[in-house]
Amino acid sequence: MDASSRLGSFLEPLPPALAEQLADYADYVLDSLDAICERAHVSPSLVDLNDLAVLAALRRLWSYLESQRWLLTNSLAGLKTLDSEVSGFTVGDTVFTPSSRPAMEIADLESQLRDLLARHNIEFLVTKASLTELISTLAADR
């Protein structure tokens, strides 16, 4: 069973390109399970594949949001230190400032995802540095 099947309704509300990227990443993680488990000294039988697919997709989604927020925040901060007259920048038709709608939406999405992870007691997704650590945590929780 591929990750798209395992992820089911999780992917439905997402833009198709993002859903495909998340499913591809989850497939990669599932395909690499034996090697990851070997490094983690965990039996693959201790890992629920459906849980792993969802957690891998959530982890990738978090990394996308966090990297966009970091890039935007640091770009805006860098502009401020270069010239106090400049408060933002424009990409295409979109203006980015600390209080612009796109900047607020990125921050809001990240906050919503963090809250979702907390509600489901899976904050470890954003604190574990590697897939090996993630697998170890999943196996220990079983």
pTM of the predicted protein model: 0.82
pLDDT of 41-85, one tens digit each? 999 999 888 888 888 999 999 999 999 989 888 888 877 776 667
Q: Which percentage of the chain shows pLDDT scores above 70?
A: 96
User: Angle 49-82/101-119 helices, nearest 10 degrees?
Assistant: 150
For the chain, what is the mean pLDDT? 87
Q: Which two tokens stand for residue 80?
A: 């401020």
Q: Which two tokens stand for residue 119?
A: 């509600």
Residue reference for tokens 């007259």: 85
In one-letter notation, the amino acid at residue 9 is: S
Q: What span, in angstroms and rounded, lies between the C-alpha atoms of 96 and 94?
A: 6
